[in-house]
Structure 1
Amino acid sequence: MSGRRARQTLAPNVLRWARERAGLEPERLAAKMRVKPDRVRDWERSGSISLAQADGMARHTRTPLGYLFLKAPPTEELSIPDYRTHAGAAPARPTPELLDTIHLMRRRQAWMRDELVEVGAEPLAFVGISRGESSFEAVAEAMREAFSVPAGWAATKPDWTTALRFLRDRADESGVLTIFNGIVGNNTSRKLDRSEFQGFALVDGHAPLVFVNAADFKAAQMFTLAHELAHLFVGAPGLSNLGGQELPRHDTERFCNAVAAEFLVPAGEMIGQWTPYAEVDEALQAAARRFKVSVLVAARRAVNLELIRPSEFRSFYERHTGALKPSSGGGNFWNNQNTRIGRRFGSAVYRAVSAGRLTYREAYSLTGLRGDTFDNFLRRMKTAL
């Protein structure tokens, strides 16, 4: 029997762990590997599997092949603090898509930091500026100043997409690597799950980075962006999932939520535009349109400012939470690169490749683009500069 077809006896619980880690039922993994589901179940009972089959399982479950030869499942831990909660419970183990996304963003950040340090760039003054006893109102005001965001800015934008692009561009121009993506890199077959996380922040004085899960609702992405930007100001990296009626368990998350709410929906503006005798639904829809946030964010702000009663908030939340629709994705490929790679990072890659400081192989790895597609990307970056 050839080496690739020779049977190996691996730990059954490791094989089961690899499948479950990828979120695959036996039937789904069997379909990917073109075997019967009973074959997958047999592997997980006996551990008897050929090297070729183990290689296929590793590939389809996004598991390093060497992990399948361990005696017990490894413990995969996130490299940043995990602030997520769901229905009051601790989050499930991270998917390969989340782990790979954080790893890729860390690599981009590390490369960008080295580039900036090499040219003598100074650290950004706002990163970690509010680590002390600053109030959430003071941090929200510091964010407006750092990003040159005027009062009432959202009301001047015609829709949520335009407002989100405006804030993203202001953060990017201020030195923040601002990434929106609903897939791993540029791999459209590896979608991110909006229920697993909504965003994360990686703190660094030279190359701070925020990542927003673009698979989430468009209106919800606005609050996620503001929340992750707040993490940079308090100097606290972390992974977030902001949905649900329950308040976050972590002090940092509660504080960043308060900062984001005040930044996007200033208390004075919210109270000033509130119509006390209008129907609650009508008033909250009007607030969401004015501030370009989701109706649920508007409702949370209204109850916190005592503009509506807690019972009205709960009723509104239950009626509207199922009506929101996630982002559909798709769109123009090159426009997507402005969000998946980011203009600031993309411009830096273009300059480094042009100057010979970055090889094409390294650039391919950092951007997820290759060959003619990468060459087109460079030409577009050159035109944009």
Structure 2
Amino acid sequence: MTTVAVSERVLRWAIDRTADPIALQQKFPKLPEWLSGESQPTLRQLENFAVATSVPLGYLFLSEPPEERLPIHLFRTLDGKHVTRPSPGLLETVRMMERRQAWMRDYLVERGQEPLSFVGSASAASDPGDIARAMRKTLGIDAGWAKKQSTWEIALRALQRKMENVGILVVVNGIVGNNTRRKLDVKEFRGFVLVDEYAPLVFVNGADAKGAQMFTLAHELAHIWFGKSAAFDLRELQPANDELEQKCDRAAAEFLVPAEELRSVWDQMKHEARPYQMIARHFKVSELVIARRALDLALISREDFLEFYRGYVSRERDSQDQDHVGGNFYLTQHLRISRRFAEAVVRSVKEGRTLYDEAYRLTGLYGTSFERYAQRLDTGE
């Protein structure tokens, strides 16, 4: 049987990319022999190894490991705690979103779409409060927009719809594509934004607690105003030690919870048994956002915030299913694909401008799954 000579360095690089090297060796018992050169894998074994390590098969024929870099900057909150190499999940997700964005940009330009005036409209000299007001004005909401929703979870979905309505692609996903075996790591990144004057795209790590997702979404919205693509971990909902990140953070905080109103409400409710919960009901944001804003305004200490933050995130992650929305596969796709993007792809297919094979690759849905999802889009579900 024909075997393939593979560089030891390339093999070790592929192994290092996996989350569970022990499980990998159990799946490929001869892996130590491949590394030592005692034996070599067959082509079929190498193909299976490529799938197991999420490595393009062609990379395994290189003499040296490829250098993989994120096309955008990854801001890390804690100094000296940066990741030396992005995970395969993050790399693949960013590349997937870049492909969608490029397609959407071409689609919009062909249809005569004008550039979005708000993209890059802020500068380093802009006041975060002014940016927050500009974001609300563009989205067509007022300072008390969230209070009009029945719950903060509904307010979160309303914000996503408002963003898509003005031309921003919003994707929320906790896995790589539709592969439930490949979880995205919240410790690595909470989200990223790809800025484009026609099709800006924000990605929220759906594996994160939903209470934190609203703050991430607002932070990404501010990035679009500054016109800067980036990924960020927002560890403990804190920005990196970077001027741009801190301005985005302040604009996001003011966008969600105006400082003046919070100070007024805080004085009335701070002595209640569960002040964060009561104030969250008033603003229709999560308790986590309220605690984070209270820290900003020096209404609570950092120690108080961290104690609440860790307990809240632990409770919420235990209670929610990150990979489903009401157990409905097709509703989940609205988040994983971006409803605005999906509608454009389906429309293009019907017009004969996009082939089904390309539509399948762009959406990650194939055959009858794509057809059924397209039908649901048509009916407004």
* TM-score normalised to structure 2 length: 0.91
Task: Indicate the SS of the match to 2:372.
Answer: helix
Give the drift of 1:285. 2.8
Residue 177 (structure 1) aligns with: 169
- Which residue of 21, 28, 31 maps to 2:23? 28
Task: Indicate the SS of the match to 2:182.
Answer: strand
Task: Indicate the SS of the match to 2:141.
Answer: coil
Output the amino acid matched with 1:30.
Q
Residue 50 (structure 2) aligns with: 58
1:278–1:203: structure 2 CA closer, same or farther, 3 Å change rule?
A: closer
Contact map agreement 1:128 1:233 (CA 8 A) in 2: yes
Give the drift of 1:377. 1.7
Give the drift of 1:321. 5.1
CA deviation profile, 1:40-93 (whole Å, cap 9, x unmatched): 333334474213322221111011122223233221000112113457411242
| Unaligned segments of structure 1, at least 5 residues | none
Are 2:304 and 1:308 equivalent residues in the alignment? no
Output the amino acid matched with 2:334.
N
Rounded to whole Å, the distance in 1 between the matches of 2:203 and 2:363 is 15
Are 2:333 and 1:337 equivalent residues in the alignment? yes
Task: Indicate the SS of the match to 1:273.
Answer: helix
Give the drift of 1:96. 1.5
Residue 168 (structure 1) aligns with: 160
Residue 11 (structure 1) aligns with: 7
CA deviation profile, 1:90-134 (whole Å, cap 9, x unmatched): 124222211111111111111111111111111111111103511
1:1-385 equivalent positions in 2, closer than 5 A: 2-3=1-2, 6=3, 8-25=4-21, 27-31=22-26, 33=27, 35-36=28-29, 39-46=30-37, 48-51=39-42, 52-86=44-78, 88-244=80-236, 247-275=239-267, 278-279=270-271, 282-317=274-309, 320=312, 322-325=314-317, 327-328=320-321, 329-330=323-324, 331-384=327-380
Give the drift of 1:312. 3.4
Contact map agreement 2:236 2:306 (CA 8 A) in 1: no
Rounded to whole Å, the distance in 2 between the matches of 1:205 and 1:180 is 21
* TM-score normalised to structure 1 length: 0.91
Output the amino acid matched with 1:41.
P
| Unaligned segments of structure 2, at least 5 residues | none
Rounded to whole Å, the distance in 1 between the matches of 2:250 and 2:203 is 19
Bigger Cα displacement from structure 2, 178-187 vs 281-290: 281-290
Give the drift of 1:376. 1.1
Identity of aligned residues (%): 45
Rounded to whole Å, the distance in 1 between the matches of 2:311 and 2:372 is 46
Rounded to whole Å, the distance in 2 between the matches of 1:44 and 1:289 is 58
1:145–1:277: structure 2 CA closer, same or farther, 3 Å change rule?
A: closer
Contact map agreement 2:77 2:239 (CA 8 A) in 1: no
Bigger Cα displacement from structure 2, 178-187 vs 332-341: 178-187
Contact map agreement 1:285 1:295 (CA 8 A) in 2: yes
Task: Indicate the SS of the match to 1:212.
Answer: strand
Give the drift of 1:238. 0.5
CA deviation profile, 1:303-348 (whole Å, cap 9, x unmatched): 2212223443344445545444264122200111111112211111
Contact map agreement 2:76 2:232 (CA 8 A) in 1: yes
